[in-house]
Chain A
Amino acid sequence: MFNAPIPGQSLTSELGSRPWQQPAQYTTVEDALDYYIPRIDSDEVSEQLINVLEMGIPVTTIANTMQLGGVMEGKHSVDVGMLILPVLVELIMLIGDAAKVDYVSGLEKEERLDSSLIDLAVTQFNEQKNKNVNDEVVEEEVEEPVEDRTGGLMSRSM
């Protein structure tokens, strides 16, 4: 906990000293894929990939970690990383299918409800309930105006 970086620590290093602060090495989708595909397809990496897939790590997580690593190493920009993400996902799934691994793709739609969605629904329900109660109170307060007929000098004669 105490080893965490101090806020603003990243700004203390010289600008341009980090790889991602330099111009990217590969600027197009094709160049970036030419960098990734031979690496992923190599025996060493594909074996590691299969092991990771068998552990139940989602494909999307692996792909994102790979492209994030590429950005950090200054291989490509974040934009190119975003563009190649779906290709990396498909490529890893292809390796998984070829090895007949029962992997988790990470693309499945979550069936369980997110807790924030439940909170939102409860808040909206309570707001609606309070609104209905207030409307009822307002309706009760409205009474028919009683005709006050005081016999003034200018009043109409009865």
Chain B
Amino acid sequence: MLTNPSALMHQNLSTAMKRKPEEKEEPKNTLMGPPKKQMTKDKKDDILNPSRRVASYIEMLNKKREEIINV
């Protein structure tokens, strides 16, 4: 039974951070394309995603750690 999920969570987040975000096709001005309002909402959702925010904090801490190690 898993009693300490720290390592697993850290590993999953590191993997997710390494994976580059998929490049979306540029919207074409077509009738079937998504409306512009929806696209801006998607970007906002990405920023609001808690795991994204946690990833940004981890990146900051990682940089600080590297600075300390390299000094």
- Interface of chain B, helix or strand or loop or mixed? helix
Q: Tell me if A98 counts as interface (CB < 8 A to partner B).
A: yes
Give A84's nearest chain B residue, CB to CB.
B54
Tell me whether B50 and A90 are in contact (CB under 8 A): no
**In the complex, A74→B14 CA distance in Å?**
28
**In the complex, A59→B61 CA distance in Å?**
15
Instruction: Indicate the size class of the contact surface on chain B.
Output: 20 to 34
Q: Tell me if B4 counts as interface (CB < 8 A to partner A).
A: yes
**In the complex, A35→B46 CA distance in Å?**
25
Take A87-B58, A90-B62 as given contacts and tell me if A106 and B68 are in contact as well, using a CB distance cutoff of 8 Å: no
Residues of A within 8 A of B (CB-CB), count: 25
Tell me whether B13 and A86 are in contact (CB under 8 A): yes
Contact code string A50-93 (vs B, CB < 8 Å = 1, else 0): 00000000011101100000000000000000111111111101
Q: How far in angstroms is the closest Cβ of chain A from B58?
A: 5
Tell me whether A90 and B65 are in contact (CB under 8 A): yes
Which of B's residues lie within 8 Å of A, judged by CB? 4-7, 9-11, 13, 50-51, 53-54, 57-58, 61-62, 64-65, 68-69
